[in-house]
Amino acid sequence: MTGIKFNGKLKHFLRAPIYLTIFFLIGSIGLFFIDLRAGAGAFGISVLYGLLCFVFYRLYRKKINNEIISFATQFGMVQRELLRNFQIPYAILDDEGKILWMNNQFVKVSGRDKAYQKSITGIFTTITRQVIEQANDEPYSIHLEHNERFYEAALQKLSFSQDGGEQLLALSGEESLTALLLFDETDLMHYRKINDDERLVVALVYIDNYEETIDEVEDVKRSLLTAVIDRKISRFFSDINAIVRKVEKDKYFIVFQQQYMAQLEEGKFSLLEDIKTTKMGNESEITLSIGIGMNGADYTESAEFAKTAIGLALGRGGSQAVVKNRGEVMYYGVRGKEIEKNTRVKARVKAQALREMMETKNRVIVMGHQISDVDALGAGLGVFCAARELGKPCQIVLNTITTSLRPLVEAFSESAGYPRDMFVNSGEALDILDNNTLVVVVDTNRPNYTECPQLLERCKNIVVFDHHRQGSEQVQNPMMSYIEPYASSTCEMIAEVLQYFSERVHLSPLEADCIYAGILIDTNNFMTKVGVRTFEAAAYLRRCGAEVTRVRKMLREDMETYKARAEVVRHAEVYHGAFAISVCEASELESPTVVGAQAANELLNIVGIKASFVLTEYQKKIYVSSRSIDEIDVQLIMERLGGGGHLNVAGAQIEDSNIDDVKNRIENILDIMIDEGEIKL
């Protein structure tokens, strides 16, 4: 024990009497100058005190050493016993993940004995050397499953120095030790799951074509038809213990527990197909739209999610279910054509609303999607005519003039009586924008697809006209949104709006030609998505002076474009015997995306082709034009690529990719949808 030396605070504490002796001696010397006898006495007492302290220090030093060592030993044993019987599984790992020590609880959880000194990865495969290295930088935790129980594994590098920097343990080189603690989360996850399962989900169910169907049925059968619909809806949701309340003649409010969502999703919301079989003298199919909101912060927010979801379902043409789970949106049952609305009440209401908005603004700016087509230009021109009727200046944003648009744009020259600034680019549009400007978006409802997304960020007065199905990305908080997926084109919608906008709206033959051309292009010469209202809109434009011959001349193309389209068709590859996939080379074409869309239409004329996909690399993006006739819903395919569209006309724009990658992605999507039964060949 003689080799042991006291250090730190303990050394100073034990030597305190000696320090006091020195203090007393100095004081005694000071007394000599005051009183010689008092100083001598104090000095003698101080020397005696110092000798006694030194003797006692030497006599009891060994005993103090033994007591300290005994205490330290007992304290260390207590610490080891506490760690050994610690209720939280605890282990020490080296820098390679090898187990150096584990407590009793860790032995019990891992199923290994204390002599086990192999890699921790052999027990928990998710705790790899890379995970341990992350814990060396800062405390790190992962979640894992072992023997049907769930744990949070917390890893932390052990520190071997005190605050004062005194080193307690030295490790050679790069070696280090890591502490591993396992926190059992099984019960927590169990109760969390119970809580999630019992959360209420809000659903809204709307009958898409209630008025049209009821009008087809005899008076005596109408109540019976309504009762059958009510019964099917109530029976479907009663299987999941839902509360169903009919709030209007064609609207239902439903509440059920979240645990039943998996059952509904697995069944792909079979009510959507079951309701179509309801026949009580009605010729047309009855379709439903379902909007579901879940996982809101409270029930009010879930109800708002349900409203948003039903809006998306209706905006995409109905006959489908949309589930909004906070930021995630899922679609189910998107099959079949959009239900055409025969009534024009909505068009009349929107026309009057647009007029009122224009009257309160000083200026109107219209823009379509990037690389605008004839439909976007024609719709923009229709809004221009409406603004002109009210004496409001109007500009059309047009950044790229394609070969198909050039004849139309050049016709609206200053010499023909049109303003010099009728067409502006994005920069000019931003310069003229102010707080009293109305921005009208046509032929798209996705902000990132517009000619100038910054206009939507800076302007609060926004109106949207579009005929494409809505996706999760959409223009936020528009003053008015008129989206009708059943319409053949945006030009058709604008033609209807113009008829109700004012009794005195005048369209020149050239303006009527342009709007008519938009309908003609989007319907592929009246062969795709054509309804009764399409022909009524065309008839209105014909009365305004539209001439088919002039339109045909304006839409003619040059020889190079025609040859390029033929090359796309010639080099098309057939996948699974039903899908034509081809690439449009953009090197020598002024408007390659237009050629790609035209080629996609051409490929459908080949026997056996159910859907076509044409890929075009242009301006650092891959543009995909997809078409089908009636058997394949290309919108579903394009949505998985990040795009959208209609049942038989859809597309996508993909950044940071190349032709081969996108082609492989399309083929993989087709394979998956065939395996899942979404596509039937």
Closest CA to 537 of 562, 561, 515: 515
Do 628 and 610 contact (CB within 8 A), yes or no?
A: yes
Do 28 and 46 contact (CB within 8 A), yes or no?
A: yes
pLDDT at 165: 41
In whole angstroms, what is the distance from residue 347 CA to residue 451 CA? Answer: 25
Name residues whose C-beta falls within 8 Å of residue 539's C-beta, 6 or more positions apart in sequence: none
Q: Which residues of the chain have pLDDT under 50?
A: 1-3, 161-174, 336
pLDDT at 341: 60
Look at the block and give the residue holding tokens 């303990």: 10
In whole angstroms, what is the distance from residue 42 CA to residue 38 CA? Answer: 6
Long-range contacts of 413-417 (CB under 8 A, 24+ apart): 416/510
The helix, strand and coil proportions of the chain, stated in percent and rounded to the nearest 5, come to 45, 20, 35
With b for 16 or more beta-carbon neighbours within 10 A and e for fewer, the 413-450 pattern comes to eeeeebeeebbbebeebbeebeeebbbbbbbbbbbebb
Judged on CB neighbours under 10 Å (0-12, 13-18, 19+), 57 is middle
Closest CA to 314 of 289, 337, 341: 289
Q: For residue range 426-468, what is the model confidence (pLDDT) as tens digits? A: 999 999 999 999 999 999 988 988 999 999 999 989 999 998 8
pLDDT at 454: 93
Question: Which residues are paired to 167 by β-bridges?
Answer: 161
Other beta carbons within 10 Å of 399: 16
How does DSSP assign 576-630, residue by residue?
Answer: TTTEEEEEE--TT-S-HHHHHHHHHHHHTTSTT--EEEEEEEETTEEEEEEEESS
In whole angstroms, what is the distance from residue 384 CA to residue 505 CA? Answer: 11
Q: For residue range 542-551, what is the model confidence (pLDDT) as tens digits? A: 999 999 888 8
In whole angstroms, what is the distance from residue 529 CA to residue 523 CA? Answer: 6
Question: Which residues are paired to 628 by β-bridges?
Answer: 611
Quick one: which H or E segment has residue 115?
none
pLDDT at 615: 94
pLDDT at 514: 94
Closest CA to 380 of 393, 361, 398, 367: 367
Name residues whose C-beta falls within 8 Å of residue 38's C-beta, 6 or more positions apart in sequence: 31
With the CA atoms of 455, 459, 462 and 468 taken in that order, what torsion angle do they form, in degrees rounded to the nearest 10? 30
Name residues whose C-beta falls within 8 Å of residue 534's C-beta, 6 or more positions apart in sequence: 487, 488, 489, 492, 519, 523, 526
How does DSSP assign 171-201, residue by residue?
Answer: --TT---EEEEEEE-HHHHHHHHHHHHTSEE
The number of angstroms, rounded, from the C-alpha of 233 to the middle of its chain's C-alpha atoms is 31
Closest CA to 568 of 540, 589, 554: 589
Identify residue 148 by its one-letter amino acid code.
E
Quick one: which H or E segment has residue 142?
strand 140-146
Closest CA to 486 of 664, 675, 343: 343
pLDDT at 164: 42
Judged on CB neighbours under 10 Å (0-12, 13-18, 19+), 141 is middle
**Greatest CA separation for the chain:** 139
Do 326 and 298 contact (CB within 8 A), yes or no?
A: no
Residue 252's SS3 state is strand
Tokens standing for residue 533: 């209202």
Closest CA to 594 of 616, 571, 609: 616
Give the single-character DSSP code of 416. G
In whole angstroms, what is the distance from residue 671 CA to residue 666 CA? Answer: 9
Closest CA to 488 of 511, 449, 514, 517: 517
pLDDT at 59: 75
Q: Is the pTM of this model over 0.85?
A: no
In whole angstroms, what is the distance from residue 382 CA to residue 425 CA? Answer: 19
Identify residue 172 by its one-letter amino acid code.
S
Question: Which residues are paired to 613 by β-bridges?
Answer: 581, 626
Closest CA to 365 of 409, 341, 398: 398
Roughly what angle, to the nearest 10 degrees, separates helices 532-543 and 490-501?
Answer: 60
How does DSSP assign 351-380, residue by residue?
Answer: HHHHHHHHHT-SEEEEE-BSS--HHHHHHH
Other beta carbons within 10 Å of 38: 12
- Cα distances (Å, whole numbers) of residue 5 to 1, 2, 14, 59, 63: 9, 8, 12, 15, 13
Beta strands 394-397 and 320-325: pairing type?
unpaired
Look at the block and give the residue holding tokens 């590098």: 157
In whole angstroms, what is the distance from residue 303 CA to residue 296 CA? Answer: 8
Give the single-character DSSP code of 97. S
The number of angstroms, rounded, from the C-alpha of 387 to the middle of its chain's C-alpha atoms is 37
Do 580 and 599 contact (CB within 8 A), yes or no?
A: no
Q: Give the phi and the psi of residue 2 in degrees, each rounded to 5.
A: -70, -20
Identify residue 101 by its one-letter amino acid code.
W
In whole angstroms, what is the distance from residue 88 CA to residue 91 CA? Answer: 10
Do 258 and 201 contact (CB within 8 A), yes or no?
A: yes
